[in-house]
Structures are given as C-alpha cells and as structure tokens.
Amino acid sequence: MTRVVIIGAGPAGLAAAAAAGRVARVTVIDDNTEAGGQIWRRTRNAWTIEHPGVETKFQARVIAATQADVTIETPDSCERLPFDKLILATGARELFLPFPGWTLPQVTGAGGLQALVKSGLNIQGKSVVVAGTGPLLLAVAAYLKSKGATIPLIAEQAPAARVNRFARSLLSHPGKLWQGARLKARLLGVPYRTDCWVESAEPGMLRLRTPGGSGSQPFDYLAIGYGLWPNTELAQLAGCRLSNGFVEVDAAQRTSIPNIYCAGEPTGIGGVDMALAEGRIAGCHATGQPTPPLPNRAFVQALTTTFALRPEVRAVATADTIVCRCEDVPLSRIQSCQGWREAKLQTRCGMGPCQGRICGPAIQTILGWPHQSIREPVFPARIESLLT
C-alpha cells in the first residue's frame, strides 16, 4: 500500500487525507493540538471518526524533510517517517510589517488576536481596531464582534476603487458571495474605511493615515494583518522549486520533485475553497485515483491585485523601528547593508530562534531582499532530535 504523509491538517491537508485515505496508508502531521488549521476548528475526535483509515499526529512538528522521509519532533519524542508520497499542506502565516509601536503588547496579528480569543482571552467590551489588508480583516472583525468586542474601525489600506471592483467580481463566485454577504450583515454598523492604514501606535492611541491626511484613533487592541505569507520552508528544504515566492506545481499539484505534492496556500494565497480543491487533487493523484478538475485561479489573481500593498505602507517603518524582534535590530542598521547576508552577518538580523520567519517577509516587503537561506532544522529543535 502506498504510504502517504501529509504535513498540515488545515483544509488542504484534510481534503488530501480524505481523498488519499480511501486507498492508501495516510499519516497527517500537524503541530497544533487538533485538526483545522487556521480556519477550521473541529475537534480531533470528530475528524478521526469520519476518517478511520487516516492516522493523525498532533503537536508534532516536522523539522526536516528529504525526498524520502520527514523528521518529526513531538514534545517528548522524535522520529523519522519514510514516505512514498509527501503532500505539503503547510499553509501560510501572517505578514507582519513593522511600524513604530508594533511591538506593543496591545498590538497583535489579525489572525493572532482571533487565536488568542479562541484560547481564552476575554475581549468583552474592548475596543479593537482591525487594520491591514484583505478579506481576512472582515472575518476577524466579525469574529471579535461576536465575542463582545467593539470594532470602532476596520482600516483597509487598499484603495476604494479596487475593493469595489473586487466586491463586484464576487458575483461570479457564488460561494464567495454568500460568505461576503454574511460577513457584511454581521458587521453592519462597523465603519470600514479603505485607503487607510496605521502609521504608528502608542499605548491607547493609534495614528492613522490616508492619502490626504492623518488622524488619531483610541484603541485597546490593534489586530493588524497585511495578508498571508506562504510557508514554503519545508518545500525548499526538500528541494522543490519556487516561482515568485510560491511552490511551483503542475495541474496535479505535483512539485518539481516527482513524489512531493503541494496544496493550499504555499502554492498561492487563494482561500479555503481553493485549498480544499487543491488538497483533493493532490490526494487523488498521489494515490493513482482520477483527479477532479483544477479550480479556476481567477479569484486568487483578483485577491492579489486588489490587496497589493501600497508604497506608503511599505514605508511606515522608520529608521529606529525594530525589524528583527529576536535580535532587536532596527531598520537603519539593516538598511546600511547591501543585502540579506551582509545584514545577517553584521547585525545578527534573522539569526534568532525565528530564523527570519517573521523579519524575512518584512524585509523582503520593505527592501526587496528575498530570504532563502533555509536549513535543517526549519524550526528550533531539541538537539536530541537531531540525533535520530
């Protein structure tokens, strides 16, 4: 029986597992405590009961991948798991763009605040400004509102004209339209301002910018997200080719390495429906089953162009804004270098435990330097794990 290993138990990984599990031995690995990834929150039990043929390993982190096996670390063990087919469904993380004040405790990622609330943070009656870009802001605002927060403002950096065009285009995507309308209804009464971004934060007070001016906005929490950044590290470590920062795949979700597939956000930021479809294709093709047709990627393209970052947003960090939080390196010191490697060697930027996972995308966005020095272990790992 074909042995399929799937990394990531979000929509793409679960769809792949459901498809592949019909005919193959499947193991799904995820470092969370339960399945669902960023979006879905279903309990592990419910999911495994539905798919008895699929083995799951939670709180398990893949620290290395070759073309034949993956190394998995759990809180108390480590093993190497061989595979015939590997499906990478590693999702995306939030892009953080540094600005003066972004390291304040009241400032979190948009998805990050949602996760904090899900794990118990009480925001009842708190005033939460949601800012950044993309449809995720609406989803986060709706969720926070449902948990009792007041949302005085959603600040979307994209221009009104582009956002309106995008909203109209949703008419041709019924599923999306429904989602969008539902969110809009729930958010009724929440000011949604386009062409607006956060310039700086001080405890209790935000400085907002629009092309024409600036203003102040009191806040208890700021949930800010400039979109998603694909988690391509494992694919890179295994030798898969990237193009334009995403894992290159063919119509069957195959990467440039024949027995490695990739589905979901690492191949392009396209939302849940796209991730599900890609996961199904990968799961089927990897196990020799007929593959469903490839979904239309027009929506992905529309998302990318609508919510492209404006130049002013790329320039909100000032000279003394800390960019590398692990090593406390301000922008001015990084800018005095000619590229990533010099910055790393001379300022320690990107040398901390996150290994550039956070500052890498920020620096690429601000200065245009791609960050590609991927090494095993891709996450900090216990030394004893490297002995397996």
Partner 1 sequence: MAADAIVIGAGIVGAACADELARCGLKVLIVEAGEIGGGATAAGMGHIVVMDDSEAEFALTHYSARLWEELADELPSGAEYTAAGTLWVAADDEEMAEVRRKHSFYAQRGVRTEILDAQDLEQAEPNLRKGLAGALFVPADAIVYPPRVAAFLVECACRNGARLERGRRIHNMAELANATALIVNATGASAPALSPGLDIQPRKGHLLITDRYPGFVRHQLVELGYLKSAHSIDEDSVAFNVQPRQTGQVLIGSSRQYGSSDPAIEHRMMKRMLERAALYMPSIGRLSAIRGWTGFRASTPGKLPYIGRSPRQPNVWIASGHEGLGITTSLATAKLLADQILNRQPAIPLEPYAPNG
Ligand X SMILES: Cc1cc2nc3c(=O)[nH]c(=O)nc-3n(C[C@H](O)[C@H](O)[C@H](O)COP(=O)(O)OP(=O)(O)OC[C@H]3O[C@@H](n4cnc5c(N)ncnc54)[C@H](O)[C@@H]3O)c2cc1C
Q: Is 81 in the site for partner 1 (CB under 8 A)?
A: no
DSSP conformational letter for 281: H
Two tokens at 213?
Answer: 């001016």
Check binding of 381 to partner 1 (CB under 8 A). Answer: yes
Q: From the list 41, 161, 345, 346, which residue makes contact with ligand X (rule: CB under 6 A)?
A: 345
Separation in Å, CA 189 to CA 142, 182, 192: 11, 14, 9
Kindly tell me which residue out of 243, 341, 370, 388 binds ligand X, with binding defined by CB under 6 A: 341
Q: How far apart are CA 45 and CA 59, in angstroms?
A: 15
383 binds, among ligand X, partner 1, none (CB under 5 to 8 A by kind): partner 1
Identified binder of partner 1 from the candidate list 120, 290, 353, 368, rule CB under 8 A:
353
Report the residue number, 183 or 381, with the smaller CB distance to partner 1.
381
Q: Site for ligand X (CB under 6 A): which residue of 344, 358, 360, 364?
A: 344
| Spatial separation of the C-alpha atoms in residues 366 and 142, rounded to whole Å | 30
Out of 10, 132, 352, 361, which residue is the one contacting partner 1 (CB under 8 A)?
352
Contacts of 301 (CB under 8 A, 6+ apart): none
**Minimum distance from CB of 376 to ligand X (Å)?**
9
Query: What contacts 57, CB < 8 A, 6 or more positions away?
Result: 27, 28, 29, 30, 72, 74
Residue 117 · residue 143 · CB < 8 Å: yes
Which of partner 1, ligand X, none has residue 264 at its interface (CB below 5 to 8 Å by kind)? none
Q: Which of 67, 214, 305, 373 binds ligand X (CB under 6 A)?
A: 373
C-alpha distances (whole Å) from 185 to each of 130, 190, 302 are 17, 10, 23
- Nearest Cα to 190, choosing from 153, 162, 235, 217? 153
Q: Based on the shown chain and the rule CB under 8 A, indicate whether residue 325 belongs to the binding site for partner 1.
A: no
- Phi-psi group of 132: left, alpha or beta (phi > 0 → left; psi -120 to 50 → alpha; rest → beta): left
Least Cβ distance, residue 168 to ligand X (angstroms): 45
Question: What is the smallest separation between the CB atom of 374 and partner 1, expressed in angstroms?
Answer: 11
CB closer to partner 1 out of 45 and 373: 373
Tokens of 304: 């990318």
CB of 198 to ligand X, least distance (A): 30
Q: Which is nearer to partner 1, 172 or 346 (CB)?
A: 346
Contacts with ligand X by CB under 6 A lie at 341, 344-345, 351, 355, 373
Contacts with partner 1 by CB under 8 A lie at 338-339, 341-342, 345-348, 351-353, 355, 375-377, 380-384, 386-387
